[in-house]
A and B are shown apart, each in its own frame.
Chain A
């Protein structure tokens, strides 16, 4: 087990290093010149007339006048010390900008996850529990719908109805619980849809297994068969999408925080891209990759705990992580 943990940790570190390299290649090696982007002031990289001396000074400041491999090694070394450099827009250290915004997004993601779990588990469970076929059909139609709705649009619809038509919740801001409700629900829609899809499928499969038949034959009640026998087994395939869910929450936060004008990582990302703030964008993308990698690591280590059959076999293997759902962690 210790060997497995060490190996898995090593893999996680390698993936993170590779993700760093990918962002470096994308942000620093693509044909566009980072210095010109910086000086253009984030107008979509439009060319502007700049003072060559200024360019040279900036190039030197960011170490961009050195050969690329040297730049890469220097940057990697700084990153290892959790120094992502300074934001181009306001000169603040990237780590402190991210640190300030992170708690807000964590709260949003956590409450959205709670809503999504209730909705997703509820839909999946009811779709196998209810006997009327039209109710089942209706319930099973919800997840495909949930993943097809643009998140930004869902958010604006909710604002329209619950802030303007029936003023129950504020339309924007970060103050207090009331401002958290609509963003959480918006963010929960696609996430709950993926949970419901995997779980409903797992439940259906589990309910068709011989051990369910056995449990029924032994006189277990319907509720007991569902909760104790089928549900526990259905959660195992659902664990594979935990990584996707976390990725979706992060990507969804970009849109949701913009719609509801909330302070947070997502909003910070949008401003960073708008200002073509390369160090900040790199820090944020790395943060997302780190969260994703860490989540998958935890899930991997949890597998034998959740599914004792894996422990028996010895080598804890799990199905490869589902890396993205239909939502594509997009909108």
Chain B
């Protein structure tokens, strides 16, 4: 129900909340397996979400398959035209096709997003793994550091990093990625704590498997599930953060198209050309909504 909350939500709160859920489940009796339709047909919303994400990833990978018009060169005669068959999303003040700019913009925006999530995933997962497995002082130091990172609102932390790093798509990605490290670290650590006390880990240790072997062969694969659903959630969050920072003007310099800067570019024509801000924003919202929908499904599946 609460994609948003359950991520950052402390395990203990969820435990408290789950008591009620369990109570209701017990009252309902064991779940009956549903027959007939395959899983994907029962979840048309999930199917749609997957399709949206795959489509924008395809835009990013092969933009020229989806539009033949140039994202950078415009036809001045066609400036500020509304959406039509020739220009799906209309044209901007230089006569550039907006749909083409959105499709090509997917590349920069999604590159930054994927890079940000990867940074968070790799750094955060390793931190959580070490923290949960080694414990003791190392755990304390690492987790207190994560707490401090969480005490600064993510967008402001990213902006501080951008101040030091400078502007550009990659730098925005790094800044957003560092902002997500703490979330990954906390989820990973709590999973590692759970898995480390499992009998098979004890058995692996007793039979003489080296620490790194235990860590990467037994603990990591078994702790990875919730981290995966967190990645899907962070993908949505990162799309929002990357486009917000790009909207504020910290992304790629013009004329390179980015989803955030496309919306920003339409600000001067709000009164006359609604499509310039509305349509790129719809794309961003659809992608984030889809990523959250997938994250929620993954969360249920791995819980």
Residues of A within 8 A of B (CB): 15, 18-19, 22-23, 26-27, 30, 32, 37, 44-46, 140, 143-145, 147-153, 156-157, 159-160, 163-164, 171, 193-194, 197-198, 200-202, 204-210, 237, 240-241, 244, 247-248, 250-251, 254-255, 258-259, 269-270, 272-274, 276-278, 281-282, 284-285, 288-289, 292-293, 319-331
Residues of B within 8 A of A144 (CB): 3-4, 289, 292-293, 296
CA gap between A148 and B284 in the complex, in Å: 9
Residues of B within 8 A of A (CB): 1-5, 7-10, 12-13, 16-17, 19-21, 23-24, 144-145, 147-157, 159-168, 176, 179-180, 182-183, 233-234, 236-238, 240-241, 243-244, 247-250, 253, 260, 263-264, 266-267, 270-271, 274, 277-278, 281, 284-285, 288-289, 292-293, 296
Instruction: Tally inter-chain residue pairs, CB-CB below 8 A.
Output: 261
CA gap between A15 and B156 in the complex, in Å: 17
Q: Cβ of A44 and Cβ of B156 under 8 Å apart?
A: no
Known A205-B20, A322-B10: A289·B152 in contact at CB below 8 Å: yes
Q: Cβ of A272 and Cβ of B7 under 8 Å apart?
A: no
Known A22-B149, A322-B10, A328-B241: A208·B20 in contact at CB below 8 Å: yes
Residues of B within 8 A of A156 (CB): 263, 266-267, 270, 277, 281
Q: Cβ of B2 and Cβ of A197 under 8 Å apart?
A: yes
Q: Cβ of B20 and Cβ of A248 under 8 Å apart?
A: no
The chain A residue with its CB closest to the CB of B266 is A156
Q: Cβ of A26 and Cβ of B153 under 8 Å apart?
A: no
Chain B min CB distance to A43 (Å): 9
Q: Cβ of A322 and Cβ of B8 under 8 Å apart?
A: yes
Q: Cβ of A164 and Cβ of B271 under 8 Å apart?
A: yes
Partner of A160, one of B21, B164, B270: B270
Known A153-B285, A164-B270, A244-B8: A201·B1 in contact at CB below 8 Å: yes
Q: Cβ of B20 and Cβ of A250 under 8 Å apart?
A: no
Q: Cβ of B243 and Cβ of A331 under 8 Å apart?
A: yes
Residues of B within 8 A of A269 (CB): 156, 159
A/B interface sample: 27 pairs, CB < 8 A: A18-B145, A30-B165, A45-B167, A148-B236, A148-B285, A148-B289, A149-B285, A150-B284, A152-B243, A152-B244, A152-B263, A156-B277, A160-B270, A160-B274, A160-B278, A197-B5, A208-B23, A240-B10, A247-B154, A254-B159, A255-B247, A278-B163, A284-B156, A288-B156, A324-B154, A325-B5, A331-B244
CA gap between A50 and B293 in the complex, in Å: 52
The chain B residue with its CB closest to the CB of A140 is B1
Residues of B within 8 A of A26 (CB): 160-161, 164
CA gap between A259 and B267 in the complex, in Å: 9
CA gap between A147 and B1 in the complex, in Å: 13
CA gap between A44 and B180 in the complex, in Å: 23
